Amino acid sequence: MFAEVVFALPFRKSFTYEIPSELKKFVKEGVRVVAPFGKRTLTGFVIQVTKTTNVKESIKPIREVLDDDPIFNKTNLKFYEWLSEYYLCSLGEALKLLVPHGTEVESKRKIAIDKNYIVQLLQREQKKNTLRYKILSELSTREQITFASLQKAVGKKNIYSQIRALVEEGAVSVIEEIEGAKVKPKKLKYVRLSKDVKEIYSSLPELDRKSPKQVKLLLILIEAKGKSLPVAELLHKTETSKAALDSLAKKGFVEIFEKEVDRRYKEHYEEQHQEFILTEQQKKVLEEITPKIQQSVFQTYLLHGVTGSGKTQVYIELAKIALEQNKSVLILVPEISLTPQITSRFYNNFGELVTVLHSRMSAGERFDSWRRIHKGKSRIVVGARSALFAPLNDPGIIVVDEEHDAGYKQQDMIPKYNARDSAVVFGSIHNCPVVLGSATPSVESRYNAEIGKYKLLTLPLRIDNATLPKITLVNINAERKKRRMDNIFSRTLLDKIEDRLNKKEGVIILQNRRGFSTQIFCEDCGEIEMCSNCSVPMVFHINKNTIQCHYCGLEKSVPAVCSNCGSINIKYFGTGTERVEDELQFYFPQANISRIDSDSITKKSYLSNLLLSFGKGEIDILVGTQMVSKGLDFSRVTLVGVISAETTLWLPDFRADERTFQLLIQVAGRAGRSKIAGEVIIQTQNEKHFALQKVLQNDYEGFYKREIEDRERMAYPPFTRLVLIETKDKSDMKAKGAAIDFRKALKKYEKHLKISEPTTALIYKLKGFYRYHILIKSSRKTDPSGKLLRKAILEAFSEFNRLSRYRDVKLFYDIDPQSIM
């Protein structure tokens, strides 16, 4: 028997292995196996098992099987095949999304060191600035090191010839060491009684004389009525040593054993469970979707519901219906740790059936969550982007909440998938309806509804007849002339805040920039303090008193003089959340102010606790980045202030207007969600801008109509499909050369595709790498599925690989990019 195996490597083919007879029972389609690959040992996925093979070369045997049960079936495989084809990665790279991090078995090449000998060699070296010297001194401190760590330590990739020389000298040897899974089921020691309680009682008097501690332990175990107790907890509670317990075990009173424990992520945030009578508009939506769940029919719905229209409750009702059909449920939300409210509502309704999946969980918690889903114990998954790859059995409904959110796009790793778009394909493969929900649908989804690809459902009214908040635009320039600006605040906004503080109502203030000042500028020479790794300005953080790069994380002390001319005339520009918080505290010294941004919510329970306090009225004002615009549902919020609408408006991106419109409507939607009306003050220098005018009129349809015309005129999505090709390298010349060569390889497709010339990326240097971009547009009319586009890229890539002398430069494809910076 033979197995076809794919690996999470950039090879677009499978490899044939022999199945040794002792593994015959265990190797099936859909399990992971450990197999030799070149000089290494890797974890791969079995996609097929066959009786014969045409492969002539020597076939190696599989070493080990990792899964008892398959983790994917034929239907799942179709989805991963689609992912790999559409996003141009290998099938193995796509399947890797399916498994929890840290569970693979892999060999690592290591250097085993004869330390004494290396020290001798080191002493013999005359020159101290050679690569050999650096390598020797690094090796002299240890017994073993991986190639990767050594490369990092000496700051050079090309260390192989040096190592080969050392191997010949007999100072080191290269070994292959297999590393097992880093994440494993967690096991704890438990103890239970192993004798009859009566019998134990009769021995107590004698025991009590010699070892009263042991009696104490027994009494607690008797109290537990036959239940086992975790050993560590028992010893801690009784302040006894392990020896006492061991002695009881030896005498046969108790039995100590190992038991697997379930690691569950718990959110601090909790709400009271509420039962609702559904509104007419909620009922109508459910009547439409319910039969599709019951009959397993694929259909994509765009649920356009204004903020506070009760979308979450619709999701909960849909989940109930899917469960009745014995199906499972997937609810995708933008980065979930930001929305403890929605998870809390699902826990309240479905208890243990719910599990969450997101990046703030520990690897162990994610692993246990994954296994509960795989075994069918957790049938409702509420999770961020990557939860789309949870091993759900028989999905009945898929919801993508806040479908417009850019966070659904994976930007950093391969494949660069969009979870919203992939969820639609997932639904079509599994015959299940997909609901995309939003108060501000993306232009693409709204267009898909217009042309009938999706079905549009609406919730036009807020719950409880709450009205949408009254929005006012405050022109900063005009106010400044009237002397009605106090630094970053207009008098209008300050007066409103004061009014709400007096009434004990909640206030949310948005400024979509973190830090204190976003630019440090020299008045004498005009120099802006830039990051040395990236072509972006450094941001001043007052709390840590440092300047930081928000792209690579570089942190430096605050410069006393200009780094270009030495002048002390340094000015700080641009307002971040820290400054807003600081100034608010100055104007309202009595108010309780908290900040939500990625700097402040580093601790696990910080956000939950903060939201609890805000809900109770212990916090008066929440200041934050776009994080405060997402999903928060607090009836006491009656005022939302936006310090500056410009933070997104002038981004050099064709979606800048859309992002601005969405952000402002979403944050406005946090106000006035109950009987007390809400109000929104937006400060801006671009009052007349159409996106802001549409926000002012609360006119989504008007915004969409104008935006879709622009998109058509400019040939942007949804009328074209975009691909961004990026080359990056530590050498500017090589990155540029690769981009030019790749562009040449694309030349023969110019008839069908619109291909830009290579340009420097908007962020030209990032984390020390120079970047060049080529933007390709493919018309939906002539290439509806994008097949031609993908073929062009793959063929250009293989030509580039054959001909270019820059073929070792890193090259990325981003299909349907969310940002072209």
Where do contacts with ligand ADP occur on this chain (CB under 6 A)? Answer: 274, 276-279, 282, 305, 307-313, 463, 633
Contact (CB, 8 A) for 517 and 572: yes
CB of 738 closer than 8 Å to CB of 809: yes
With CB under 5 to 8 Å by kind, the binding choice for 311 among Zn ion, ligand ADP, none is ligand ADP
Minimum separation from the CB atom of position 520 to Zn ion (A): 10
Choose among ligand ADP, Zn ion, none what residue 562 binds, the Cβ cut-off being 5 to 8 Å by kind.
Zn ion
- The amino acid at residue 503 is K
Query: By three-state DSSP, how is residue 557 classified?
Result: strand
CB of 698 to ligand ADP, least distance (A): 14
Choose from ligand ADP, Zn ion, none: what does 522 bind? Cβ within 5-8 Å by kind: Zn ion
DSSP three-state, residue 745:
helix
Q: Which CB sits closer to ligand ADP, 311 or 404?
A: 311
Q: In this complex, which beta carbon is closest to ligand ADP, that of residue 579 or of residue 630? A: 630
- Give dist(CA 177, CA 382) in Å, integer: 38
Q: How far is the CB of 441 from ligand ADP (least distance, A)?
A: 13
Q: Please say which residue, 44 or 678, places its beta carbon nearer to ligand ADP.
A: 678
Per-residue three-class SS string for 562-609: CCCCCCCCEEEECCCHHHHHHHHHHHCCCCCEEEECCCCCCCCCHHHH
Q: Which is nearer to ligand ADP, 276 or 587 (CB)?
A: 276
Question: Residue 633 or 707: which CB sits closer to ligand ADP?
Answer: 633
The least distance separating Zn ion from the CB of residue 554, rounded to whole angstroms, comes to 5
The two three-digit tokens of residue 260, written as one number: 């697997």
Query: Which of Zn ion, ligand ADP, none does residue 83 bind to, with CB < 5 to 8 Å depending on kind?
Result: none
Cβ neighbours around 526 below 10 Å, total? 10
Least separation in angstroms between CB 571 and Zn ion: 11
| Smallest distance from Zn ion to CB 727, Å | 19
The dihedrals phi and psi of 721, each to the nearest 5 degrees, come to -105, 135
Residue whose token pair is 């969450």: 356
Of 737, 718, 700, 749, which is closest to residue 811 (Cα–Cα)?
A: 737
How distant is the alpha carbon of residue 57 from its chain centre? 42
Which of 5, 380 has the CB closer to ligand ADP?
380
Q: Which is nearer to ligand ADP, 239 or 280 (CB)?
A: 280
Q: In angstroms, what is the minimal distance from the CB of 515 to Zn ion?
A: 13
d(CA 32, CA 23): 13
Residue 278 touches which member of Zn ion, ligand ADP, none, C-beta under 5-8 Å by kind:
ligand ADP
Could you tell me whether strands 555-557 and 546-548 are parallel, antiparallel, or unpaired per DSSP bridges? antiparallel
Taking CB within 5 to 8 Å according to partner kind, which of Zn ion, ligand ADP, none is near residue 567?
A: Zn ion
Contacts of 625 (CB under 8 A, 6+ apart): 510, 511, 512, 513, 514, 577, 596, 597, 598
**Partner touching 525 among ligand ADP, Zn ion, none, CB below 5 to 8 Å by kind:** Zn ion
Pick 317 or 529: Cβ nearer ligand ADP: 317
Binding partner of residue 549 among Zn ion, ligand ADP, none, CB under 5 to 8 Å per kind? Zn ion
If the CB atoms of residues 219 and 278 are measured against ligand ADP, the closer one turns out to be: 278
> How far is Cα 404 from Cα 626, in angstroms, rounded to an integer?
14
Residue 564 touches which member of ligand ADP, Zn ion, none, C-beta under 5-8 Å by kind: Zn ion
394 binds, among Zn ion, ligand ADP, none (CB under 5 to 8 A by kind): none
Beta bridge partners of 190: 230, 257
Comparison of 185 and 526: residue with beta carbon closer to Zn ion: 526
By a kind-dependent CB cut-off of 5 to 8 A, residue 676 interacts, out of Zn ion, ligand ADP, none, with none
Nearer to ligand ADP by Cβ, of 312 and 548: the residue is 312
DSSP codes joined into one string, 671-718:
S--SSS--EEEEEES-TT-HHHHHHHTT-HHHHHHHHHHHHHHHT-TT
CB of 680 to ligand ADP, least distance (A): 15
Q: How far is the CB of 552 from Zn ion (least distance, A)?
A: 3
**Helix, strand, or coil (residue 792):** helix
- Residue 388 CA to residue 384 CA, distance in Å, equals 8
Tokens of 94: 């796509």
Could you tell me if 711 and 719 are in contact, meaning their C-beta atoms sit under 8 angstroms apart? Answer: yes
- In sequence order, what DSSP letters do the residues of 318-356 get, joined into one string? HHHHHHHTT-EEEEE-SSGGG-HHHHHHHHHHHGGGEEE
Least Cβ distance, residue 466 to ligand ADP (angstroms): 8
Nearer to ligand ADP, 310 or 672 (CB): 310
Cα distances from 360 to residues 85, 267, 291, 335, 611, in angstroms, run: 30, 11, 36, 9, 17
CB-nearer residue toward ligand ADP: 43 or 309 = 309
CB of 613 to ligand ADP, least distance (A): 18
Looking at the DSSP bridge assignments, the partners of residue 773 are 726, 759
If contact means CB under 5 to 8 A according to the sort of partner, which of ligand ADP, Zn ion, none does residue 307 touch? ligand ADP
3-state class (DSSP) for residue 552: coil
Tokens of 425: 């394909």
If contact means CB under 5 to 8 A according to the sort of partner, which of ligand ADP, Zn ion, none does residue 117 touch?
none
Q: Which residues of 365-391 are buried (b: 16+ CB within 10 A; e: fewer)?
A: bbbbbbbbbbeeebbbbbbbbbbbbbb
Question: Which listed option, Zn ion, ligand ADP, none, makes contact with residue 297 (CB within 5 to 8 Å by class)?
Answer: none
Nearest to 492 by CA among 642, 282, 349, 312: 642
- Which of ligand ADP, Zn ion, none is residue 456 near (CB under 5 to 8 Å by kind)? none
CB of 617 to ligand ADP, least distance (A): 16
Q: How far is the CB of 400 from ligand ADP (least distance, A)?
A: 13
Determine contact, residues 683/493, Cβ cutoff 8 Å.
yes
Q: Which is nearer to ligand ADP, 270 or 712 (CB)?
A: 270
Residue 301's contacts (CB-CB under 8 Å, 6 or more residues apart) are 288, 289, 433, 434, 435, 436, 454, 455, 456, 457
CB of 765 to ligand ADP, least distance (A): 41
What SS3 state is found at 501?
Answer: helix
342: left (phi over 0), alpha (psi -120 to 50) or beta: alpha
Give the interface with Zn ion as residue ranges (CB under 5 A).
522, 524-525, 527, 531, 533-534, 549, 551-552, 554, 562, 564-565, 567
- Report in angstroms how near the CB of residue 624 gets to ligand ADP at its nearest: 18
Nearest to 5, CA basis, from 41, 40, 38, 35 = 35
Taking the least distance from each CB to ligand ADP, the nearer of 272 and 487 is: 272
Selection from Zn ion, ligand ADP, none that 565 binds (CB < 5 to 8 A by kind) is Zn ion
Distance of CA 61 to the CA centre of its chain: 37
- Give the three-state DSSP class for 621: strand
Q: Residue 793's binding partner, choosing from Zn ion, ligand ADP, none, with beta-carbon cut-off 5 to 8 A by kind?
A: none
Q: Minimum CB separation from ligand ADP for residue 798, in Å?
A: 47
Which is nearer to ligand ADP, 166 or 510 (by Cβ)? 510
| Residue closer to ligand ADP (CB basis): 399 or 815 | 399
Smallest distance from Zn ion to CB 529, Å: 10
